[in-house]
Amino acid sequence: MVKAIVGANWGDEGKGKITDMLAKESDIVVRFQGGANAGHTIINNYGKFALHTLPSGVFYDHTTSIIGNGVALNIPVLMKEIQSLLDRDVPMPKILISDRAQMVMPYHILLDEYEEARLAGKSFGSTKSGIAPFYSDKYAKIGFQVSELYDEEALKEKVERICLQKNVLMEHLYHKPLLNPEEIYNTLMEYKSMVAPYVCDTSLYLHNALKEGKTVLLEGQLGSLKDPDHGIYPMVTSSSTLAAYGAIGAGIPPYEIKEIITVVKAYSSAVGAGAFVSEIFGDEAEELRRRGGDGGEYGATTGRPRRVGWLDLVATKYGCRMQGTTDVAFTVLDVLGYLDEIPVCVGYEIDGEVTTDFPTTSQLEKAKPVLKVLPGWKCEIRGIKKYEDLPENCRKYVEFVEEQIGYPIRLISNGPGRDEIIYRGFEGKTE
């Protein structure tokens, strides 16, 4: 049985917490796309952690954590992350790395930085983790799979061949120092010794696990609107953020994915550039940003202040549809308790016409939000365990959202902690 946890919007929906919770009931947790460019924040008995590459299952001793073939694997970052857990007394997690995962090379990070600097004001707002150059190389067929570390002669030759090409860019486009193939080869040999204990055919491992009836959780990064095909291209990430890609990035059959839990935050936030129709500014934004998430809406990886806005139901309905949502997890609802009235975006006005269907990027740039204002509940809802015990206006907010997006909200998160969760008929749990 395979479940996926994915985001409906621009990322930072609070997937980390929901994954951490569901990982408890899973045998295996798999990262299937993305790299160390985004982060999940998890708060549990060991403390507060920002995970970038490791799956959220690493805190449980019964789960195996898999870095799938679809991931942009930054080996030194991964090793540091493992060490940071051990330093804080988390027992060594069981980790497997796909032999087909490709590696973020040191020059991917350099190229990302240089390109952002070259584009200056027109940049994509990259986190400079090398993700775009990494995936470009993967599809240009000049990337390096972990498996290639084991054929040293072929590896040496390939590194030289690729440095030749990259150095043209280094010299003539960026005017930066040239890459040294020998140094890169030596770095790769260090990477090899670092990953050696973890590398295996993870697709085969998952195949066998599924045959034995194990529960697998696919953990997505970012959200639907950052998908390179279905998102706000080109202000997207470089690997698919959709649950469907979980099959490819983990190496399992698509029909095995039975539950798709899409995480939606009770208001909007986004990092980086790109159209953001329900964005708010000034004091109103500053207050939401400061109160948002747990300790404010600032990037888990970069510390950058996030852009914030009201819940965008046009984007969310689309985001849930593209994921193939079976259940919605509605998060960070507690944060809205300070508002007298809560605006939500129920439509886009584009060239004088109102639509509730999410458009392509060029149309999106022109969209103006159509807002509906719902009454606030003006109280603290943390600590509440039962849906019926939520204030009436809070329930009305949830039910309005559910009706507009057309997917059932079965989990409500009313605080950052692991047990701050309200089930609404989720998996037979009605409490």
Query: Which residues are marked as active site?
Result: 12, 40
C-alpha distances in Å from residue 44, one per residue of 56, 159, 205: 11, 42, 28
Of 158 and 395, which CB lies nearer to ligand GDP in the complex structure?
395
Q: Which of 136, 127, 137 shows the shortest CA–CA distance to 162?
A: 137
40 binds ligand GDP (CB under 6 A): yes
43 binds ligand GDP (CB under 6 A): yes
424 binds ligand GDP (CB under 6 A): no
Minimum Å gap between C-beta 264 and ligand GDP is 10
55 binds ligand GDP (CB under 6 A): no
Are 412 and 398 contacting, i.e. CB atoms less than 8 angstroms apart?
yes
CA–CA gap between residue 329 and residue 13 (Å, rounded): 9
332 binds ligand GDP (CB under 6 A): yes
Site string for ligand GDP, 369-398 (x = CB under 6 A): ------------------------------
CA–CA gap between residue 111 and residue 132 (Å, rounded): 9
415 binds ligand GDP (CB under 6 A): yes
Q: Which of 111, 101, 94 shows the shortest CA–CA distance to 162?
A: 111
Minimum Å gap between C-beta 140 and ligand GDP is 29
DSSP 171: I
Stretch that binds ligand GDP, among 8-16, 99-107, 226-234, 271-279 (CB under 6 A): 8-16
Minimum Å gap between C-beta 38 and ligand GDP is 6
7 binds ligand GDP (CB under 6 A): yes
Minimum Å gap between C-beta 85 and ligand GDP is 16
Stretch that binds ligand GDP, among 143-151, 190-198, 275-283, 409-417 (CB under 6 A): 409-417
Q: Which of 188, 197, 200, 183 shows the shortest CA–CA distance to 105?
A: 188
Minimum Å gap between C-beta 289 and ligand GDP is 12
3-state secondary structure 109-169: HHHHHHHHHHHHHHCCCCCCCCHHHHHHHHHCCCCCEHHHHHCHHHHHHHHHHHHHHHHHH
15 binds ligand GDP (CB under 6 A): yes
Stretch that binds ligand GDP, among 21-29, 63-71, 88-96, 329-337 (CB under 6 A): 329-337
335 binds ligand GDP (CB under 6 A): yes
DSSP 250: H
Of 166 and 291, which CB lies nearer to ligand GDP in the complex structure?
291
Residue 287 dihedral angles phi and psi, to the nearest 5°: -65, -45
3-state secondary structure 277-305: CCECCHHHHHHHHHHCCCCCCECCCCCCE
Residues 278-307 that bind ligand GDP (CB under 6 A): 293-294, 300
Stretch that binds ligand GDP, among 35-43, 76-84, 142-150, 275-283 (CB under 6 A): 35-43
Type of residue found at 20? D
CA–CA gap between residue 126 and residue 134 (Å, rounded): 13
13 binds ligand GDP (CB under 6 A): yes
**Residue 97, both tokens:** 């790395």
52 binds ligand GDP (CB under 6 A): no
CA–CA gap between residue 299 and residue 8 (Å, rounded): 18
227 binds ligand GDP (CB under 6 A): no
16 binds ligand GDP (CB under 6 A): yes
Give the count of residues interacting with ligand GDP (CB under 6 A).
Answer: 23
C-alpha distances in Å from residue 425, one per residue of 113, 259, 276, 308, 329: 47, 14, 33, 30, 12
CA–CA gap between residue 197 and residue 207 (Å, rounded): 21
Minimum Å gap between C-beta 158 and ligand GDP is 34
The only residue of 9, 33, 240, 413 in contact with ligand GDP, by rule CB under 6 A: 413
How far is C-alpha 185 from the geometric centre of its chain's CA atoms? 31
Minimum Å gap between C-beta 124 and ligand GDP is 19
Stretch that binds ligand GDP, among 15-23, 82-90, 151-159, 207-215 (CB under 6 A): 15-23
Q: Kindly list the residues in this chain that would bind ligand GDP in the complex (CB under 6 A).
A: 7, 11-17, 38, 40-41, 43, 293-294, 300, 331-332, 334-335, 413-416
